[in-house]
Structure 1
Amino acid sequence: MRSVIYSCEEHVEEALDDWVYGEETFPEFEKLEDADGVWITCGYCKNQAIYMVGNECSDTKYRK
C-alpha cells in the first residue's frame, strides 16, 4: 500500500485515479504549502509537486 502520491497540477487527476483504483477507497487530498523551500517532485514527472494524494498517516490513526 502506498501511503501518499505527490503530484503537480498537470497530473493530479491521474494521481487521484491511480489511488482510487489501487486502494479502492477515496484518498485524503491536500494542496501543499511552501515548506521553507523544500522541493517535492511529482510522482509522474520532474515538476514540483503541489498536491498530496493519499493517506499520510498510518492505518492506526483512527483506531481506539
Structure 2
Amino acid sequence: MVQAEPRIILAAVAVFMALAGLGATIRGLLFDSPAFIHYGALALVAGVASFVVLLMPTTADDT
C-alpha cells in the first residue's frame, strides 16, 4: 500500500480551508455580514499560506 506523506494530506486540507474561506467571504458580501467577511478572508489567507508552506521542498526531500 502506498503511504501518503502527512504534508500532502495537510496541504489538501489547507486547500479545502481556503475554498471554505472564499465561500464564507462571498456569503458575507452577499448578505452584508462583516463577521463572515473577516473570518472568511482570514481562513482564505491562512489556507493559501499553509498550502504554500506545506508543499515547499525541505532538505530531507533531497534524498
Q: Which has the higher contact order (CA 8 A, sep 6+)?
A: 1
Give the number of the structure whose residues are more often strand, by fraction. Answer: 1
Q: Which protein has the larger Cα radius of gyration, Structure 1 or Structure 2?
A: 2
Larger helix fraction of residues: 2
